[in-house]
Structure 1
Amino acid sequence: MAHTPHPVDEVLPFGQLLAVGIQHVLVMYAGAIAVPLIIGAALKLPKEQVAFLISSDLFACGIVTLVQCLGVWKFGIRLPVIMGVSFAPVGPMVAMASSGAGITTIFGATIAAGVFAILIAPFFGRLMRFFPPIVTGTIILTIGITLFPVAINWAGGGRGAANFGEPRNLLIAVIVLLAILLINKYLKGFIANISVLLGMAIGFVLALPFGFVDFSGIGQAAWFAPVRPFAFGMPSFDLAAIASLCLVMVVIMVESLGMFLALGDLTMRPVSRNDATRGLRTDGLGTVIGGVFNTFPHSSFSQNIGLVGITGVKSRWVVAVSGGILILLGLLPKLSNLIASIPVVVLGGAGIAMFGMVAATGVKILSKVDFESKNNLLVIAISLGVGVIPLVAPSFFAHMPAWAGPLTHSGITLAAVFAILLNALFNRGGETGNIEQALAAEMPLSLRKGDGEPASWE
């Protein structure tokens, strides 16, 4: 009898791998290029250097995505995780730029912070016991809620856009969303798996006559441009800059741990302590690679978790193909400019569905919690309430010390810290059950080994 691979390890036909892989790239592309645009502007770099930062960013994202999905030595969680440049360090890096630090200082701090993350990853892996369903579900629900404003701003035309909220913007976003819903309801198999890609293609075509698609820059972009390490010069190392980005890496790793557990739930492959350590170690490795290849700290992208939920495609090989596409985009500026021409209103319609799936996954995990206990309700209520503070009142912590910024500016981290501490207070850290045990109990018998222990994924 032939062995049936776990859906995470399934290798789909090449056409399906390519189509779903492109879908993952389109979902993360806007977020991937945003950080180099912001930092390039803060450093007042010329346009061609900003364009090079974007190419470097895509190239590094592709390399680290391949490591995360396929696994190399002690690196890589081997789940469908796409990697991108994190938004968490934007504040500290802009502050460095404003204080006169050059780009080589930012790259030096990035490399040092990556090494720091690699070294502390095993410690974070040991924190798994502090992440029972009540904590994990709350964090993942907060991630979804935190992503909603991104999708809503995209659907409106982009934050600060002159035509924000115009009926035609909303119309295109709604049509994209409806297309995704209808394809999922009425079509099956491969077509349903690429519902987001098809919905975005429909939105792209509809946006053309409205003049929303900007093809400028494609003609001038080169067909091929290599990404050179240390293109801006050798990195310089400043202790204050390194300390600030090391603190950011702790925040990134807390968020990534929650995302890994969410993905483990969606793919029915429970994340062990060793899995988590390998995934977090790759966040650090990606950050080192980023600093070497002229870009910034990396993390696992949460928006793509929602795509796994919508499509039901759990194969890590799909996202490995996405990594290959990202490498190509980094080396082919003309192609990356074409992808960048997709209007944000199109992304907005897709984002509402995908980010909603992240939040829904959090609700699903919370369904394992005993809600007869008032204490559990309090843990969730307070953690969610604190987690949305940066969302509804961005200046709430304006008078806190600058070093606290990475913590206070991240609703996900605030929710995680409060959920862990309150659960420790009310439930002594784990009376609601470990997330691995809860997920293992739901697994089909064919995927378990003796005594209910999940089969090894090594």
Structure 2
Amino acid sequence: MRLPRRRPSTAPDDTAPDDTAPRDTADPVHPVDAVPPPGRLAAYGLQHVLAFYAGAVVVPILLANAIGLDERQLIHLINADLFTCGIASIIQSVGLGRRIGVRLPLLQGVTFTAVSPMIAIGLAAGGGTEGLTTIYGAVIVAGLVTFFAAPYFARLLRFFPPVVTGTVITVIGLALLPVAATDAVGGADAEDPGNPLYLALALGTLAVIVLIQRVFRGFMATVAVLAGLVLGTLASVPFGLVELSGVGESDWVGVTTPFHFGWPQFSVAAIVSMIVVMMITAVETTGDVIATGEIVGKKVGSDDVARALRADGVATTLGGTLNSFPYTCFAENVGLVRLTRVSSRWVVAAAGVFMILIGLVPKAGALVAAVPHPVLGGAALAMFATVAVVGIQTLSKVDFHDHRNVVVVGSGIGVALFVTVQPDVAQALPGWAQVILGSGITAGSIVAIGLNLLFFHTGRRPAPAATPDTVSCDEIAGLDRAGFAALFGTLWEGPTDVPARVHARGPFPDAATLRAALQDELFAAPAGEQRALMAHYPDLGGLVHGAHSGPRAAAGTGPAATRPEPGAAAVPALRDRRGLALLDADDREELTRVAADYRERFGFPLIVCLRDAGDRSALLAAARRRLTHPSAQEHAAALVEVAKVAGHRFDDLVRPDRPA
């Protein structure tokens, strides 16, 4: 028999109501999969578009200006970018088949990491449309490589413990804040960045967002960013900052066609450069996926990361075909999910539909583009900062008593901010290295990953400074499959493949998640495997007479008593059984008879978690009652007791990464 898997609670920490929560408690649906009412779905989707729009159009603008494209070509690039962003977001949030798309509220956008390499590729090819077609050739190939490499990259998740992912997520948020600050003072081309009007609009928009979230609940609180953008734009009208001339000059319909600028050209140097960009972007995507999983309360494993990276690969290949660029999960909208606490992936799908429509209607795009830079900057300050907060939350699970973790986090953030504040530092390096150090996000991420490998995965590892009979989550993350299985095999009395299967699902962000994964895998195991494991547990009656016979007898009989165990296993075994000493002679004899009858009837031993058994009368009453149960019920009851024992031993073995 296989026990039904109990659905764990996966609600986010915040207690504010989520409008996407399911109404039918008989068939619970995770908030990620719930569909909001049509009106709210449209409003939430539009909010994502407005929050995303400025970041979406900046890449085509920078590239067009750098390689010498004219205004009409730039307009086509913007339309193609928005159109493809919409398709990519739907693929990521809704999924394409079973292996493409992570199915989380992740909006796709053009990665900023690719800007400098694409400009270099375009100029090397002569600029203009010829340079553009060479860029597209490299983008198409890099997208295909990303798609096929996704499962291999995802297997490296054990090298991304909380100390790495927390650093990467924090770096993403901090490195994006200067972008918001630039918008807040009027944009990169502002003639008067010290204008008090710009500052008033930016801070005013931020204040509106904060005030709405403080005063309102429910729907209004979730559209605070949208309300701030709308009110900020209306406040800008009297000052002449809302330019609507582009709306009148734009066409009503503009369809992007494949290879509009000509057939792609393939250059080996350009392809290698773009593949490097996509590998770096994969690190960012991994961080965004893990961050979003934490925000919405959904576990993220290697399979999820692989699906997300495949979606990146498909979207990037599609981008090169439809006159757009490499795609990744957009950190700006990760911050929006955290800020609004709207978890539904269908909201991002709705945003994707809006972007497709905007990409087909240039007038609509021009209208959205009319939102002034200071207003966008004020909203972005709130969103980008919340990305950094998610990273800080992840880092709170790290054991900073271990100085190695301090070095990983400090160096990663330090290098990221160094490159962000002084971007020209990359010019001191060879051209290939500028691809890596041209972005604070990629530079900081690579430093954090490299130092984690150096300190935790190479050479002889120093013994942990804490109690030798316990381990931390960071130490567990550094174990290979064999080490992991050996460590957690001590939770059970007999051999089992449960730890090895759980290791393949890792890494795990904290001890509670790992504990739940071990329990889930135990209950999901085939009935035959469960029964074989239960058979290795000693008869409770036999343990009664060994309760005073010393540590070996107290640790049990059978294979578990003779196999070599670390110190962490022997101590929990003593704790598991010391309550038997409270039984008097008559009680022990009765329990021995009940246990013998139990084994004869059910074919496996009477298993009881003695730490939870209560007093002697309760223990005996429970043993007698279980003897009357049907076989299927007792299989389930015995497995629950096995899980309880393993849970207590886990708590004795693994120390929490943050104080209780």
Q: Show the counterpart of 2:49.
A: 25
Q: Show the counterpart of 2:427.
A: 398
* Correspondence for 1:93 among 118, 123, 133: 118
Which has the higher relative contact order, 1 or 2, with Cα contacts under 8 A spaced 6 or more apart?
Answer: 1
Deviation at 1:436, TM superposition (A): 5.0
Measured in 1, the distance between the counterparts of 2:303 and 2:93 equals 15
Q: Structure 1 residue 10 and structure 2 residue 4: aligned?
A: no
Deviation at 1:333, TM superposition (A): 0.6
Measured in 1, the distance between the counterparts of 2:46 and 2:523 equals 31
Q: Show the counterpart of 1:357.
A: 386
Q: Is the 8 A contact 1:155 1:173 kept in 2?
A: yes
Deviations 1:182-234, CA, capped at 9 Å, x for gaps: 11111000110000000111101111111111112211211112221111122
Q: Structure 1 residue 44 and structure 2 residue 68: aligned?
A: yes
Q: Structure 1 residue 215 and structure 2 residue 283: aligned?
A: no
1:203/1:432 Cα in 2 relative to 1: closer, same or farther (>3 Å)? farther
1:55/1:370 Cα in 2 relative to 1: closer, same or farther (>3 Å)? same
Q: Structure 1 residue 171 and structure 2 residue 171: aligned?
A: no
* Correspondence for 2:83 among 51, 59, 84: 59
Q: Show the counterpart of 1:78.
A: 103
User: Given the two structures, how large is their TM-score scaled by the length of structure 2?
Assistant: 0.66
Deviation at 1:66, TM superposition (A): 0.3
Q: Is the 8 A contact 1:449 1:455 kept in 2?
A: no
Q: Show the counterpart of 2:138.
A: 109
Deviation at 1:455, TM superposition (A): 12
Measured in 2, the distance between the counterparts of 1:255 and 1:176 equals 28
1:289/1:89 Cα in 2 relative to 1: closer, same or farther (>3 Å)? same
Structure of higher CA gyration radius: 2
1:80/1:381 Cα in 2 relative to 1: closer, same or farther (>3 Å)? same
Deviations 1:86-129, CA, capped at 9 Å, x for gaps: 11111122122222051211111111111111121111101111
Deviations 1:255-282, CA, capped at 9 Å, x for gaps: 1111111111111112110110010111
1:453/1:166 Cα in 2 relative to 1: closer, same or farther (>3 Å)? farther
1:433/1:168 Cα in 2 relative to 1: closer, same or farther (>3 Å)? farther
- Overall identity of the aligned pairs, in %: 43
Q: Is the 8 A contact 1:147 1:355 kept in 2?
A: yes
Measured in 1, the distance between the counterparts of 2:178 and 2:373 equals 13
Aligned-partner residue type, residue 104 of structure 2: L
Aligned-partner residue type, residue 20 of structure 1: Y
Measured in 2, the distance between the counterparts of 1:58 and 1:455 equals 46
1:439/1:307 Cα in 2 relative to 1: closer, same or farther (>3 Å)? farther
Aligned-partner residue type, residue 59 of structure 2: V
Aligned-partner residue type, residue 62 of structure 1: G
Q: Show the counterpart of 2:169.
A: 140
Deviation at 1:433, TM superposition (A): 5.0
Measured in 2, the distance between the counterparts of 1:328 and 1:433 equals 48
Deviations 1:34-77, CA, capped at 9 Å, x for gaps: 11112222232221121111101111110011000001122101
User: Given the two structures, how large is their TM-score scaled by the length of structure 1?
Assistant: 0.95
Aligned-partner residue type, residue 119 of structure 2: V
Q: Is the 8 A contact 1:134 1:432 kept in 2?
A: no
Q: Is the 8 A contact 2:260 2:323 kept in 1?
A: yes
1:449/1:261 Cα in 2 relative to 1: closer, same or farther (>3 Å)? closer
**Root-mean-square deviation (Å):** 2.0
Measured in 1, the distance between the counterparts of 2:92 and 2:311 equals 6
Deviation at 1:439, TM superposition (A): 5.3
Deviation at 1:426, TM superposition (A): 2.8
* 1:20-419 map, 5 Å: 20-73=44-97, 74-99=99-124, 100-101=126-127, 102=130, 103-419=132-448
Q: Is the 8 A contact 1:270 1:436 kept in 2?
A: no
Measured in 2, the distance between the counterparts of 1:314 and 1:455 equals 28
Measured in 2, the distance between the counterparts of 1:433 and 1:15 equals 46
1:307/1:433 Cα in 2 relative to 1: closer, same or farther (>3 Å)? farther
Q: Is the 8 A contact 2:158 2:507 kept in 1?
A: no
Measured in 2, the distance between the counterparts of 1:157 and 1:19 equals 27
Aligned-partner residue type, residue 18 of structure 1: A
* Correspondence for 1:451 among 519, 537, 541: 519
Q: Is the 8 A contact 1:132 1:432 kept in 2?
A: no
Deviation at 1:351, TM superposition (A): 0.8
Deviation at 1:394, TM superposition (A): 1.3
Deviation at 1:240, TM superposition (A): 1.4
Q: Is the 8 A contact 1:270 1:454 kept in 2?
A: no
Measured in 2, the distance between the counterparts of 1:441 and 1:324 equals 38
**Equivalences, count:** 453
Measured in 1, the distance between the counterparts of 2:412 and 2:50 equals 32
Q: Is the 8 A contact 2:184 2:202 kept in 1?
A: yes
Measured in 1, the distance between the counterparts of 2:94 and 2:340 equals 21
Measured in 1, the distance between the counterparts of 2:456 and 2:517 equals 30
Give SS of 1:396's match.
helix
Q: Is the 8 A contact 1:133 1:433 kept in 2?
A: no
Deviation at 1:313, TM superposition (A): 0.3
1:17/1:227 Cα in 2 relative to 1: closer, same or farther (>3 Å)? same
Measured in 1, the distance between the counterparts of 2:173 and 2:185 equals 19
Deviation at 1:299, TM superposition (A): 1.2
Measured in 2, the distance between the counterparts of 1:340 and 1:454 equals 54
1:280/1:440 Cα in 2 relative to 1: closer, same or farther (>3 Å)? farther
1:275/1:224 Cα in 2 relative to 1: closer, same or farther (>3 Å)? same
Give SS of 2:328's match.
strand
Deviations 1:319-355, CA, capped at 9 Å, x for gaps: 0000000000010111010000101101111111111
Measured in 1, the distance between the counterparts of 2:317 and 2:407 equals 40
Q: Name segments (4+ residues, structure 1) moved above 4 Å.
A: 432-436, 452-456
Measured in 1, the distance between the counterparts of 2:51 and 2:476 equals 34
Measured in 1, the distance between the counterparts of 2:183 and 2:54 equals 10
Give SS of 1:437's match.
coil
Deviation at 1:431, TM superposition (A): 2.8
Deviation at 1:410, TM superposition (A): 2.1
Q: Structure 1 residue 431 and structure 2 residue 455: aligned?
A: no
Q: Is the 8 A contact 2:160 2:507 kept in 1?
A: no
Measured in 2, the distance between the counterparts of 1:334 and 1:190 equals 29
